[in-house]
Structure 1
Amino acid sequence: MSQRTKEHIRRWIFGLPMAVWVTCLTTVCLAATSLFLYVNTNLVTITNSDGQKTVVFAQTIDKRLLVREIADMRCSEDDIITYDQAKHGYGELHVEHAFPVTISVDGEKITENLIECTVADALDIMGVTLSGDDYTEPALTAKIESASSIAVHRVTYNDYTKNETVPFETQYQYTSLFYRSPERKMVMQNGADGVINAKLRDKVVDGEIVETSVIEDYGSTEAVPEIIKVYGEGAAVSSMTAPEGVTLDENGIPTQYSAVLTMKATGYYSAAGKGASGLGLSYGTFAVDPKVIPYGTRVYIASADGKFVYGWAMPTDTGSFIHTNNMQVDLFYETYEESYINAVQEVKVYIVG
């Protein structure tokens, strides 16, 4: 370009009106501003673990400033903020809120703000270690998703040898058979002390014994309880229970039955173990004329005044008395003394089935 041409252009430029200059400068500034905003402004989608979501335009890259002031969301120093800028001008920011987690261990409480993790993670973060059979509640694999408490239980074991006598206990059985002499007591089984001679192990959790087990036995014997039979008002001799579906009144007498027989009741004892029917003999079985009450029939036996209750029973034997009185039942007892105490009394026999 010649000097003359350059001079011509210079004179043309400086000869432009002021309005043109202003317009040009304004256009340049706007373009520069737009370019600056394009380069430095981001469209950011902000979400958090509370389920909130918002979209903002922001120039700052300070993540906490974005959350607190621009998005107006809560954010603490312990919250975890992740920012993913997929491409220029657009990004996704997520706030995972921390929550307090308290660990109770060794008589102390430790609290820190954590985000979602497992119990094992929480212990690791807070510097709590387990050893041996120590355990936690909740379990180590349990997830923590909100403010929570974790209990650490310390487990230790104590081994020792024990050699001592174990006194027998006294157990009581109740029967209405003694209604004539309520003060009567009958020893059904003599008690015998036991002996512990063994190596034992106590399991201790947080300082308290929760379980004792035998590691090695050197000849221990269990105590044998003393069993005493005493009077109990309305207590049945038999341990049999009512057939399924049978309803009882307030005195335990069946409300559903096919017949009620008034019979003479005696008592008997036999070491044979089986009755004439081939079925066993025990409390709750009795002898009767099978033509009157067939073997295996379920009945309920009690005196009319309710003072004596034999209870639910089933005939399994036949007595010689049927030749002289077929309206008699002979109630079985597992001791001769009880059969003697029964004597002779009138009872009602409710035939159920």
Structure 2
Amino acid sequence: MKRFFLERSWRLAKKFGERFRFDFGRRRLSFWRIPFLTAVVFLAGFGPLPPLKSVVVLSDGKSVSFETRERFVGEALRSAGITFGEDDVVLPPAGSVLVPGEVVTVRRTSESLVVRRELVSNKTIVIPNKALKEGKEVELRAGHPGLVRKTVRRIISNNTVKEEVLAEDTLLSPVDRKVFRGTRGTESRPRILTLLATAYTPGRESCGKYADGKTAVMSRAGYGIVAVDPKVIPLGTRLYVEGYGFALAQDVGGRIRGRRIDLLIPDLKTARRFGARKVKVYVLD
């Protein structure tokens, strides 16, 4: 109240001083004008005071009620010790005239840029396999998750966090995991054959002058291709050969008759070392 009285008196005194050419900056006051100025300042203090206005402020999750004689919303908040920054939202605006019973809301808002790294999950690709017991898994490729770097704009408004992704850079691409999962139950077991196995290469040393890198069904010759007797194992049958791995019957041979199987091994030395041996062959189809 004292501060308001002095400020009001000074404003009125300055107004009259400017009107009668008083120079407050250089303090050029005539002796006869001093009593007049003193009377103005004295009488100004006894003018009518602005009415008290009740205000409710909602800020920082709290509700504050008080009374003030300030004219504007911003002045009322500052007089009550409630601060607000440029990014904060004041409703009604700080420059608006304060109305009795006004409810003022102060929403705290802050904005920042955040750079962070995040993992990108990889998938697991499951390939059913009849040669494996149901529930058993054989991992073909371990795989790994990916890694990205994100630039995020984080906006905190009234204790609510909102994020906006501005940029995203891939640091490491995810690689999916691959597994064979067994589907063989107790009631459905694959057919097991004991065959005499030999090895061959796709070159001239095994296939002669007609070697062209193709199989009997015109597919590309490579590891995992085996030659069979179609009367025993139909072409296109999926197999699992003990000591060799999963294979596909896609080739034939002049000497492959009856219970024999020829395993394609690209390396000549390895194929020669394989020799001839009896192996168990699981017919998966």
Q: Which has the higher contact order (CA 8 A, sep 6+)?
A: 2
Task: Output the TM-score relative to the length of structure 1.
Answer: 0.40
Task: Output the TM-score relative to the length of structure 2.
Answer: 0.48
